[in-house]
Amino acid sequence: RKLKFHEQKLLKKVNLYSWKNESAHKETSIMRRYHVQGREDYSKYNNLCGMITKTVAKLKTLPQDDAYRIEKTQQLLTKLYEMGVISDTTNLSSVEKISVSSFC
């Protein structure tokens, strides 16, 4: 049957091809592998990874000889190294590849 006007408007807001639970399989496998207790912890780690990668992307847009970029890059690398998230403090390429499993 032909959809009514209000039904068509509702369907415009819904994407039928991607579901919220598509990433749930990946979440549960990581939670089991690294013994993460709850989904809230996983989502916090995931948000933290996103914020770190955004920061790295913004730092990479600055010129390489910029004093601010050098200072903030060193601060970020030392902080992540001291936390045990990355294994070396030489460059930003190791920080780009950071994932939730790095925190576990």
Whether pLDDT at 21 is above 70: no
* Residues 40-54 pLDDT 10s: 888 898 999 999 999
Q: Is the pLDDT of residue 60 over 70?
A: yes
Residue 89 lies in domain: 38-104
Number of domains in the chain: 1
What local confidence, expressed as pLDDT, does residue 71 receive? 94
Q: Which residue has the higher pLDDT, 102 or 58?
A: 58
DSSP, residue by residue, 38-61: -HHHHHHHHHHHHHHHHHHHHHHH
Q: Residue 103 falls within a domain, yes or no?
A: yes
Cα–Cα separations (whole angstroms), residue 34 to 4, 42, 46, 81, 96: 49, 10, 14, 20, 21
Q: Is residue 23 part of a domain?
A: no
- pLDDT(28) > 90: no
